[in-house]
A and B are shown apart, each in its own frame.
Chain A
Amino acid sequence: MMDFAFALIAFLLLASAATAMALRNIIHSALLLVVSWFALALFYLWAGAEFAAFAQILIYAGAISMVVLFAVLLTQRTPGNFILIPESRRRALAAVLAGAAVAAAIAYAILNASFPVGSTPAPAVTVRELGIQLMGPQAAALLVVGAILTVALVGAVVIAAQPEKLQREDPL
């Protein structure tokens, strides 16, 4: 029963990701990507990581999907029409090289990872313990992440605020 559920989730995850890559319509691809994020959250739920699953939906399906969709809408010139043939041979070569490098890095990591075989009982972690861990032993990491995110946020505000400032200085 559990294996069947896992197979179903894995199929949903992989099928939606693969279809997202194959589709011509880039908005459909983005929405399918969201489906695969949901499937990933389902996988976390299946594995008993409740908190990670809900955080995954809240952050990926709620926030990052919006960033992706806005980015697509703001950069796309004509909907449903994008270039399928690379502009030059050099670009094609660079694309293939970059793709191969990423694939090789991931494959290397997967092949070298050691997966513990056998049934180890999953630890039942409550949100409370998670919070105590984050605030106690892992507090330094949390603070560093917070600082990085704050820098990113301030940077985004600075970039976004620039054009308005330029407009005001414009003598009209």
Chain B
Amino acid sequence: MTPTTDSFLERAPLLLRDWISGFFPAALRGVINDLIAILTILAVFGTLFAFLTLAERKILGRIQNRPGPNRTGPFGLLQPFADGIKMLTKEDIVPRAADQLLHFLAPVALVAFSLLTFAVIPYGRHLVPVDLDAGVLYFFAASASTELAVFMAGWASHNKYSLLAAMRALAQLISYELPLLLSIVPVVLAAGSLSPSGIVAAQGAWTLDVLPHWYVFTPWGFAGFVIFLVSALAESNRSPFDLPEAESELVAGHLTEYSGFKYALFFMAEYFGMCALSSLGVTLFLGGWQAPCAFLEFIPSYAWFGAKLLGLLLGFIWIRATLPRLRMDQLMRFAWKFLVPLSLANLGVAALWRLGAGWSEPLQLVRWAMAIAILATAFFLLGRKLSSGFGPRVYRYAPS
């Protein structure tokens, strides 16, 4: 270990944790350490959730040429707290015909399962809450369980619109889970590990000290990252895939019969899901907590992780402000006819890439060219197939 990678700042969170658990008897220290990790995740991501809602409204406002929230505190900074108080004091209405228990359990289960996903993300060199050998699988197991909560919410409301919207949401979640999983298989293949910290460690090197060996800088990694981002947008119900809620068209879908704090819990879970998927994206494709250049390693690893995470989240908000919502049939066609075949092609390219790892210098160029050529061909062929038969729209009654 070089001194820079084990500096005081790098170990500061651990030292703080040990200082706190030092007040407890030795037998309890393991439990206390776990509790501190859980509380830290709750506090950090809870605060991030609060200010992300504010950032989203401010940035959307800026893009749409309006000020956004600016009356609560300086620059509207206290808006999240005002929203929280409003949500807490609102009346909680449960329909008489609803299934009381499931109606109550759905938001709780949703938030619980989305919080579980945070456990396996390596936030820094020494900051891995739970270092599981099958961590990536754990992440997807926990996030797949949230689908159950969506179904419970739709069914327990005893409202046909809620149920229909829940079925629609499930169709979307299941369809996009496939490309999401397929896009990360090449990463697992390349790193030879299902553990997130192992995958981060596999990306930790630089060419000439400035070019990081992150997976996003390989042809299959770039394609995989784009597929991952698109599927992550759909999985977390973000625009342009926000059909399950589509507050301007439906009456909030499966959330129709929810009010007050339960409604807030659904949105909390949505933001948690977005943060978790972005964290996973950073871990798998953007080198996790690794610094982009060797000489920048003096900045602690968790700061790099946070910066990358915030960058991705701001990208999500930007996309929401830019792209219009898809239609249901477009959404399904895009998932099954474009993303799934493309990610399968990407898997093949990744296998080819792995095969060419030992090739000599000039053949490396051939390796790059082959990988890019296969991906580009697949992209253009699939794209043409996707839009064939839906050719240019004719506006018959509009003045041309």
Task: Please report whether the interface of chain A is mostly helix, strand, loop or mixed according to DSSP.
Answer: helix
Residue total for A at the interface (Cβ-Cβ under 8 A): 21
Chain A neighbourhood of B148, CB < 8 A: 31, 34, 61-62, 65
Asked whether any CB of chain B lies closer than 8 Å to the CB of A54, the reply is yes
Residue total for B at the interface (Cβ-Cβ under 8 A): 25
Q: What CA separation (Å) do A128 and B198 show in the bound complex?
A: 12
**Residues A33-87 near B (CB distance < 8 A):** 34, 50-51, 54-55, 57-58, 61-63, 65-66, 69-70, 73
Chain A neighbourhood of B144, CB < 8 A: 57-58, 61-63
Contact B152 A31 (CB under 8 A): yes
Asked whether any CB of chain B lies closer than 8 Å to the CB of A126, the reply is yes
**Residues B169-206 near A (CB distance < 8 A):** 170, 174, 177, 192-195
Min C-beta distance of A44 to chain B, whole Å = 11
Contact B147 A66 (CB under 8 A): yes
Asked whether any CB of chain B lies closer than 8 Å to the CB of A106, the reply is no
Asked whether any CB of chain B lies closer than 8 Å to the CB of A27, the reply is yes
Asked whether any CB of chain B lies closer than 8 Å to the CB of A147, the reply is no
Q: B136-149 vs A: 1/0 string, CB under 8 Å?
A: 01101110110110
Asked whether any CB of chain A lies closer than 8 Å to the CB of B382, the reply is no
Asked whether any CB of chain A lies closer than 8 Å to the CB of B14, the reply is no
Partner of A62 from the list B132, B147, B193 (CB cut-off 8 Å) is B147
Asked whether any CB of chain A lies closer than 8 Å to the CB of B266, the reply is no
Asked whether any CB of chain A lies closer than 8 Å to the CB of B155, the reply is yes
Asked whether any CB of chain A lies closer than 8 Å to the CB of B134, the reply is yes
Partner of A54 from the list B141, B155, B195 (CB cut-off 8 Å) is B141
Asked whether any CB of chain A lies closer than 8 Å to the CB of B83, the reply is no
Nearest-neighbor residue (CB-CB) of B156 within chain A:
A27
A128 and B192 in contact (CB under 8 A), knowing A31-B102, A51-B134, A57-B141?
yes
Q: What CA separation (Å) do A57 and B163 show in the bound complex?
A: 24
Contact A69 B134 (CB under 8 A): no
Asked whether any CB of chain B lies closer than 8 Å to the CB of A142, the reply is no
Asked whether any CB of chain B lies closer than 8 Å to the CB of A134, the reply is no
Asked whether any CB of chain B lies closer than 8 Å to the CB of A127, the reply is yes
Chain B neighbourhood of A58, CB < 8 A: 137, 140-141, 144
A57 and B145 in contact (CB under 8 A), knowing A50-B134, A51-B134?
yes
Chain B neighbourhood of A61, CB < 8 A: 141, 144-145, 148
Contact B137 A66 (CB under 8 A): no
Which A residues fall within an 8 A CB radius of B?
27-28, 31, 34, 50-51, 54-55, 57-58, 61-63, 65-66, 69-70, 73, 126-128
Sample of 14 further A-B pairs with CB below 8 A, known A34-B148, A57-B145, A127-B134: A27-B155, A31-B102, A31-B148, A50-B134, A54-B134, A54-B137, A54-B138, A58-B144, A62-B140, A62-B144, A62-B145, A66-B170, A69-B151, A127-B194
